[in-house]
């Protein structure tokens, strides 16, 4: 993320290329909906590139349409928001909104022996399976549960340490050898877990980082080749995400957002079809740029994006992933910028996966320059911000089928059995938010399930996600949605709901398989 404390950049004027053909107002086709992650869903296995597209193991094109969930790169050494919510409910909510990928920023600090997370709430059963785990072990749980939910994960080496970002990929305290060793350690750790589809080698290289200058100490393109080959030497199936720099041939842009040199000086790796170029792009809530005050704004923006990174896609050179873009949406300029960018990224309803890849900054509300998809209560969705992204959301991916360390009852061992566990994520007196984890405790797959409970008070469900419900008096019956009824033996899923008032005693849940 390009923080507001940085100096605004000066971007030199340049000839603008033609905008993307077919950019248009997007359709509200996917907001609040799910795409069932079946064996035929895109995204199965590891991915590779072909021209400007990313293809899954079966050769189906995929579109990354996700969010950044930061925190592992900070002093908390874990994703933010777990101080108020269960991590599984957070991932479930991402899925329910139609996001299919999580970019997880981290710093090399979490790979130090004994690195432990802090600021996790374990009350009322929240995050129960994270107690006592190291930061890396928590990341393991997040990866596993995301895969079960049909989401993919991209690991992002965001900072060398929790103190802040660095212009180059190394610092005096974190040399290149440590950077590469840690990248290899993560690549090895998740080898065979195709939920992790790739690694973003270093976040936002900027001056004095160069592209194609040939200086081993500052040429980011050469460093990306060294690191990318090291990652692929231990896990040859991963995608290698390579961000841009700040300045190329005297033309400056956003940190990490300038890929003007990649056409002439491509990243060359020992394993073919693994490079995805990544750009970052922001609005005035982060910093001013010359194009925002151009008299032709926002019509000038497609040409700006073409020049810095869009040409790589349009010329079929490589896939382009906008790994970060965001805004508070407070100003009219920012609103016009986001609308223009969404159109440029190509609506899924028109182009399918033959489109730019993206992850929005950020899921978190605690990004000072942009805010997030969630509002400050870490529960409520900013529906205006989320609404801008509706037309570029894309189908969920095939589930990994793992249990993801989810809760749920213990062991029955009968041919068909399930158990349900109830946890309160927040209770403010007049209302309550809760999560229910459903686990297949039998030995055969389930095609559907039903969870029932009876409250001792006068609580009423006001909304429910990832399940359908009926309520008669104090008794609630929740049945699976179309996409989460099938559970392999040992697998888990979850749903959540809001009810009023709060303060209810934890009910006894009954799970019935089908």
- Helix, strand, or coil here: 305? helix
Q: Is 470 exposed, middle or buried (0-12, 13-18, 19+ CB in 10 A)?
A: exposed
Are 59 and 338 a contacting pair, CB within 8 Å? no
Backbone angles phi, psi at 226, to 5 degrees: -65, -45
Pairing label, strands 251-252, 418-427? unpaired
Token pair for residue 450? 């039903």
Distance separating alpha carbons of residues 262 and 272, to the nearest angstrom: 16
Distance separating alpha carbons of residues 186 and 488, to the nearest angstrom: 28
Assess whether the previous peptide bond of 321 is cis (omega < 30° from 0).
no
Most distant CA pair in the chain, distance = 73
Q: 177-185 long-range CB contacts below 8 Å, 24 or more apart?
A: 178/108, 179/108, 179/227, 180/226, 180/227, 180/230, 182/108, 182/111, 182/157, 183/157, 183/227, 183/230, 183/231, 184/230, 184/231, 184/233, 184/234, 185/111
35 CB-near residues (< 8 Å, 6+ apart): 41, 395, 396, 483
Q: What is the torsion angle, in degrees rounded to the nearest 10, for the CA atoms of residue 257, residue 262, residue 266 and residue 267?
A: -10
- Helix, strand, or coil here: 412? coil
Distance separating alpha carbons of residues 513 and 227, to the nearest angstrom: 48
* CA 437 to each of CA 126, 247, 377, 418, 450: distance values in angstroms, whole numbers, following the listed order: 11, 49, 22, 10, 12
Distance separating alpha carbons of residues 87 and 126, to the nearest angstrom: 8
Find the catalytic residue in 73, 204, 225, 243. 204
Are 311 and 263 a contacting pair, CB within 8 Å? yes
Q: At what angle do helices 220-234 and 176-189 cross, to 10 degrees?
A: 40
Are 158 and 105 a contacting pair, CB within 8 Å? yes
Torsion sign over Cα 116, 121, 126, 131:
positive
Known catalytic residue at 73? no
Find the catalytic residue in 73, 225, 243, 324. 324
**Catalytic annotation, residues:** 204, 324
């Amino acid at each position: 993320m390009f923080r507001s404390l940085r100096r605004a950049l000066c971007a030199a004027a340049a000839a603008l290329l033609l905008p993307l053909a077919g950019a248009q107002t997007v359709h509200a086709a996917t907001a609040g909906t799910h795409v069932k992650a079946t064996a035929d869903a895109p995204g199965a296995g590891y991915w590779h590139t072909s021209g400007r597209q990313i293809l899954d193991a079966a050769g189906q094109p995929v579109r990354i349409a996700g969010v950044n969930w930061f925190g592992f790169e900070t002093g908390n050494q874990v994703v933010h928001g777990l101080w108020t919510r269960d991590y599984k409910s957070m991932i479930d909510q991402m899925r329910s909104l139609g996001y299919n990928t999580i970019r997880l920023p981290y710093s090399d600090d979490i790979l130090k022996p004994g690195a432990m997370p802090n600021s996790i709430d374990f009350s009322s059963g929240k995050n129960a399976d994270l107690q006592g785990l190291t930061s890396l072990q928590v990341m393991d749980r997040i990866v596993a549960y995301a895969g079960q939910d049909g989401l993919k994960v991209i690991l992002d080496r965001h900072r060398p340490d929790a103190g802040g970002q660095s212009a180059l990929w190394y610092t005096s305290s974190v040399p290149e050898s440590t950077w590469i060793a840690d990248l290899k350690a993560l690549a090895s750790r998740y080898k065979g877990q195709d939920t992790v589809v790739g690694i973003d080698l270093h976040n936002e290289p900027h001056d004095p980082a160069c592209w194609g200058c040939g200086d081993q100490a500052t040429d980011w393109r050469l460093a990306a080749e060294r690191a990318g080959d090291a990652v692929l030497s231990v896990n040859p199936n991963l995608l290698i995400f390579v961000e841009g720099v700040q300045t190329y041939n005297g033309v400056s842009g956003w940190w990490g957002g300038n890929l003007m040199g990649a056409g002439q000086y491509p990243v060359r790796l020992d394993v073919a079809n693994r490079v995805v170029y990544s750009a970052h792009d922001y609005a005035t809530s982060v910093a001013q740029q010359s194009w925002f005050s151009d008299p032709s704004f926002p019509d000038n923006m497609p040409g700006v994006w073409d020049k810095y990174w869009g040409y790589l896609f349009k010329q079929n050179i490589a896939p382009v992933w906008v790994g970060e873009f965001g805004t508070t949406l407070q100003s009219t300029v920012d609103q016009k910028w986001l609308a223009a960018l969404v159109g440029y990224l190509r609506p899924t309803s028109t182009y399918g996966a033959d489109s730019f890849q993206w992850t929005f900054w950020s899921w978190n509300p605690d990004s000072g320059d942009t805010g997030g998809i969630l509002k400050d209560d870490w529960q409520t969705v900013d529906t205006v911000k989320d609404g801008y992204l509706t037309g570029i959301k894309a189908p969920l991916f095939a589930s990994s089928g793992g249990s993801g360390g989810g809760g749920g009852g213990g062991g029955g061992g009968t041919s068909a059995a399930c158990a349900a566990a109830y946890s309160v994520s927040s209770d403010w007196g007049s209302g309550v938010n809760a999560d229910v984890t459903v686990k297949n405790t039998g030995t055969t797959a389930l095609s559907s399930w039903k969870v029932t409970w009876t409250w001792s008070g006068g609580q009423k469900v006001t909304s429910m996600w990832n399940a359908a419900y009926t309520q008669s008096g104090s008794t609630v019956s929740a049945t699976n949605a179309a996409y989460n009824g099938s559970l392999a033996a040992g697998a888990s899923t979850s749903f959540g709901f809001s009810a009023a008032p709060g303060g209810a005693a934890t009910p006894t849940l009954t799970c019935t398989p089908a």
